[in-house]
Amino acid sequence: MHGHGCANGAGTIVNAIAIWKGAAFCIDLATTADVELDECSDAGAGDAGKITGRIENADTADTALITRCVSLVLDRFGYRCDGVVTTRSEIPIARGLKSSSAAANATVLATLDAIGETLPLMDVISMGVRAALDVGVTITGAFDDACASALGGIVITDNRNMELVERLVYESDVLIYLPEEKAFTADTDVTRSKAIAPLVEVAYRLALDHDFENAMTLNGLLYCAALGFDTEIAMSALKLGVSGVSLSGTGSAYTALVGRDQIQELKGCWSDMGGSVIQTRIVNKL
């Protein structure tokens, strides 16, 4: 029994760690998952079978999230199967580009495909969020990131209540600055993030007003200060006239919403600062 699933990464407009409310946009970088299951039998709750995980080109990476996603789906439908889940991704891991949300969404979809079942897309998202919380790769559940990954466009969410406040179509090119270092969400200093909560609320209200560029920039400067990241990467974009630039998630990547006439200049500027630059776009239809 074979199943295949795919989901996209995302960039941050408002990071939900400080206030449990967030906003994010889907990007044109994807993760795919393939699930191979032995013949399934009926099972009791919590007896989904033995699942082995593999992340292509990252043999030492932790596979707890993707194996948990498979187990949750099998348990939901009362199946017991042994099997293997393999993911491969265009999304750099541990850079704030929602690689975990994309892997969870893709794995849930692949498992459903393998057993010939379907779920509403919001249930797929919720199941991936639960798996991420179960294995400790997220602080808030990353419901905003998971929604952006699965639904496309820009999403605004209330993560505490698992509520999708709004989803919008938005056209923009995106540049990503990718430093050498990684930053794992689970290692984030939550206390420092909570200290900036009143100002993150301002960024969230800007997002609700659809002023996404200013929301994103305010969010980025705040979280750079709270988490100890360099503001110069964002400032270099602002000096070139880019309106929306932010630390993505808890880092280490930065994302910018750019016009076509700004791409080459910002690419050159960021390339001169070391690291690497990825050009992509917001994806509205998946």
pLDDT in tens, the chain (286 residues): 999 999 999 999 999 999 999 999 999 999 999 999 997 777 655 566 799 999 998 877 889 999 999 999 999 999 999 999 999 999 998 888 999 999 999 999 999 999 999 999 999 999 999 999 999 888 888 999 999 999 999 999 999 999 999 999 999 999 999 988 766 665 567 788 899 999 999 999 999 999 999 999 999 999 999 999 999 999 999 999 999 999 999 889 999 999 999 999 999 999 999 889 999 999 998 6
Rounded Cα gap, residues 269 and 264, in angstroms: 9
3-class DSSP assignment, residue 267 = helix
Domain boundaries, the chain: 2-167, 171-281
Of 262, 168, 171, the closest CA to residue 207 belongs to 168
Length of the chain: 286
Single pTM value for the model: 0.93
Rounded Cα gap, residues 107 and 98, in angstroms: 14
Question: Distance between terminal CA atoms of the chain?
Answer: 25
Q: Which CATH number fits domain 171-281: 3.30.70.890, 3.90.550.10, 3.40.50.720, 1.10.3720.10?
A: 3.30.70.890
Q: Which CATH number fits domain 2-167: 3.40.30.10, 3.40.50.300, 3.30.230.10, 3.40.50.720?
A: 3.30.230.10
